[in-house]
Structure 1
Amino acid sequence: MIDCHHHIIPSFDDGARDPSVTLKMCRIAVEDGVKGIIATPHHRNGLYNSSPDVVREKVRKLNKAIRKVGLDLTIYPGCEAHISPHLAESVEAGETLTLNEGCYLLLELPPQEVPAGVEQVVFELQSRGIYPILAHPERIGSVQRDPNSILPLVHAGVLMQLTGLSITGGFGHEAKECAATLLARRMAHIIASDAHSFRHRTPRLSMAVEAAAEILEDEIEARRMVEDIPSMVLRGEPYEPPPPVDYEPPKRSFFSFLWGR
């Protein structure tokens, strides 16, 4: 498996606290079947500004430490870039890292809603040959209320990355239900851990894959979301997802209207 969203670099953002935590996270990932991790520290989110040169150097040192302890795991450079009006220019100028320095960019939106102007940012990225991947849409409030709100982005070619812990219920009922809807409607394409530690937000993916396989009724398709498609991301190969299915909210009964439910 390849984990495309991981806060593995120690003492860098809100992820791994120190090198010992990083190595524990690496061991958990390897035991779970992960062979590659893209390091995605927060970038341009008002708190963190991950310099590409610093990320590259930290990834180099981390791979050296991993080889020293004999783990069969490779870390690749990247970032989780918060949306901003000039993001495409930042990527073009080399100020924002794409995933493994290829043609994909992990994009983070505010947790409350999909902001106005996101489609323009997506267009500007795509016009420069950059394919956006939207991080954890199932955890965005407005998407939980209306999964169809991201359909324009899906139709525009934006890949959707679900957090494994959302699928298994670790981020609450709303995120779990939204993740299930996005999976069932083929509006999700990648599963990643978004790991921050070895205790709570861990690097494990296998349980999420099992849960996704049940929702999709297709184990092969679920495994593609942690194997084939992330491998294409890692290699910088374009991926054209199948068309999504519009979400139809459950019809409300007379009594649900009566009682306001």
Structure 2
Amino acid sequence: MKGLYDIHTHIIPHVDDGADTIEITKKILQMEYNDGVRTIFATSHFRRRMFEAPMEKIRQQYLQVQQAAKEIAPDLRLILGCEFHANLDMVETLNAGKRPTMGDTRFVLTEFSEAHDFRFIQERCYELISNGYEPIIAHAERYPVIRKNLEHLEQLVDMGAYIQMNADSISGVEGWGMKRFCKKVMKQNLLHFVGSDAHNTGDRKPQMGRCAQYMEKTMGREYADKILISNPREIIEEGR
């Protein structure tokens, strides 16, 4: 498949635990392009007391990544975003423009800790929604409170949250149990987006192509197109 979107990556060098150098970034971009990806969201971590790179530095480094993408192919598009680790001040931070949304839309890639309980996840999503934002829950399959109870995922979707799962979780790289859970989520039509969550070219490399093949085989071409192309395209083209 060509024209894929990868909505979750850590390819901006020197700003979080992702790419260490621009050379690694270039290799990741080439791997993505070879896999059929044509639009990539650069979503560096923002987490208090852990990942707090100044936005000036992020934007400066992002320009290098854009240049690297142009050198690989003219149709490889980069979009700035952020993986925002949920906290009590996130709406205030977003309203002040201190961290970017997904491509200047109202979508916010929102991360939680595995230790967070369901009430905290619900409350943070509700706060975002009630302030005009649209939370995309990052790698939702990772959170035990969601994996243990699929009804929690249904409740989050019903309240207006969107669900992103990682490509490697879906295709089985992260183990059979994770793959089985992801398949259940897809069968119940609770998945909206996929991201590689790529950090490097080794143990956390992008494998969107492998995921696309598995999704097409398991769920059909129409479903794969919807999740990997149509849904993320709406973020950019329509801003919902």
Give the TM-score normalised by structure 1.
0.84
Residue 193 of structure 2 corresponds to which residue in structure 1? 190
Contact persistence 2:85–2:112 (CA under 8 A) = yes
Unaligned stretches of 5+ residues in structure 1? 239-261
Which structure shows the higher helix fraction? 2
Q: Does 1:228 align with 2:230?
A: yes
> Against the structure 1 CA distance between its residues 82 and 236, is the aligned structure 2 distance closer, same or farther, given a 3 Å change threshold?
farther
Residue 34 of structure 1 corresponds to which residue in structure 2? 37
Structure 2 SS opposite 1:117 = helix
What is the number of equivalent residue pairs in this alignment? Answer: 237
Residue 19 of structure 1 corresponds to which residue in structure 2? 22
What is the CA deviation profile of residues 97-125 of structure 1, one whole-angstrom value per residue up to 9, with x for unaligned ones?
10112111000011244442332322222
Residue 258 of structure 1 corresponds to which residue in structure 2? none
Structure 2 SS opposite 1:105 = strand
Query: Pairwise mapping of residues 174-253 of structure 1 onto structure 2 (< 5 A)?
Result: 174-216=177-219, 218-235=220-237, 237-238=239-240
**By how many angstroms is 1:70 displaced?**
4.6
Q: 2:93 aligns with which of 90, 93, 112?
A: 90
Residue 167 of structure 1 corresponds to which residue in structure 2? 170
**By how many angstroms is 1:64 displaced?**
1.8
- Percent identity of equivalent pairs: 26
In structure 2, what is the Cα distance between the partners aligned to 1:163 and 1:123? 23
Residue 66 of structure 1 corresponds to which residue in structure 2? 69
Contact persistence 2:15–2:58 (CA under 8 A) = no
Residue 81 of structure 1 corresponds to which residue in structure 2? 84
Read off the aligned partner of 1:162 and give its amino acid letter.
Answer: M
In structure 1, what is the Cα distance between the partners aligned to 2:68 and 2:154? 42
In structure 2, what is the Cα distance between the partners aligned to 1:177 and 1:129? 34
In structure 1, what is the Cα distance between the partners aligned to 2:226 and 2:151? 23
Unaligned stretches of 5+ residues in structure 2? none
> Against the structure 1 CA distance between its residues 176 and 113, is the aligned structure 2 distance closer, same or farther, given a 3 Å change threshold?
farther
**By how many angstroms is 1:175 displaced?**
1.8
Runs of 4+ in 1 over 4 A off after TM superposition: none
> Against the structure 1 CA distance between its residues 209 and 69, is the aligned structure 2 distance closer, same or farther, given a 3 Å change threshold?
closer
What is the CA deviation profile of residues 30-74 of structure 1, one whole-angstrom value per residue up to 9, with x for unaligned ones?
111111111111102531014333322221222123324556412
In structure 1, what is the Cα distance between the partners aligned to 2:126 and 2:238? 18
> Against the structure 1 CA distance between its residues 46 and 169, is the aligned structure 2 distance closer, same or farther, given a 3 Å change threshold?
farther
Structure 1 SS opposite 2:23 = helix
In structure 1, what is the Cα distance between the partners aligned to 2:119 and 2:99? 22
Contact persistence 2:30–2:72 (CA under 8 A) = no
Residue 99 of structure 1 corresponds to which residue in structure 2? 102
Residue 128 of structure 1 corresponds to which residue in structure 2? 131
* Larger RCO, structures 1/2 (Cα 8 Å, 6+ apart): 2
What is the CA deviation profile of residues 201-231 of structure 1, one whole-angstrom value per residue up to 9, with x for unaligned ones?
2222122122223333x21111211111111
Structure 1 SS opposite 2:78 = strand
Contact persistence 2:42–2:79 (CA under 8 A) = yes
